[in-house]
Amino acid sequence: MKFAILLHILGIVVWVGGMFFAYMALRPAAAQLLEPPQRLTLWVGTFGRFFPWVWASVLLILGSGLDLIFTKFGGFATTPVFVHSMFGIGLLMMLIFAHVFFAPYGRLKRFVAVQEWKSAGAALAQIRVLIGINLSLGLINIAIAVIGERLG
């Protein structure tokens, strides 16, 4: 069980921490310092390196979360409400990420490859909104975990 908790936390740190860095630090710096061709190319490279880690995190979080639900709590029927909330929010986050990966990120890569900067910018804007939503959901989930664990 302790190993499952470790894997769960590591997955969360990589995913939510990466979103926080990208959204709160890299995004404003890139917008201030780089012209659209360089900025959009930077994002394609950044996402190309970060998203495989997110997929790994999704697998770790989902696998370890299910393991904890069944080993620590005895299954969904006896799992506390706060864990059900975290599970639901986590699934929503995974669906949002899958949408980002398969829709606007694919468009961003295609538009950058053919230097259609305006269309690439629109794809990046959609990714930005969805990552902002996922970052908020991730931080809420962390708060639910801490508060729920303390309150039982």
Question: How would you write the pLDDT of the chain (152 residues) with one tens digit per residue?
Answer: 899 999 999 999 999 999 999 999 999 999 999 999 999 999 999 999 999 999 999 999 999 999 999 999 999 999 999 999 999 999 999 999 999 999 999 999 999 999 999 999 999 999 999 999 999 999 999 999 999 988 86
Residue 152 is predicted with a pLDDT of 66
Distance CA 62, CA 59 (A): 5
Distance CA 110, CA 104 (A): 10
What length is written for the chain? 152
Distance CA 69, CA 116 (A): 47
Distance CA 98, CA 111 (A): 19
Q: Is 132 exposed, middle or buried (0-12, 13-18, 19+ CB in 10 A)?
A: middle
Residue 92 is predicted with a pLDDT of 99
DSSP 73: S
Distance CA 127, CA 5 (A): 30
Q: Are 64 and 58 in contact (CB under 8 A)?
A: no
Residue 143 is predicted with a pLDDT of 98
Residue 34 is predicted with a pLDDT of 99
DSSP 1: -
Residue 1 is predicted with a pLDDT of 84
Q: Which of 119, 2, 98 is nearest to 51 (CA)?
A: 98
DSSP 68: H
Q: What is the model's pTM? A: 0.96
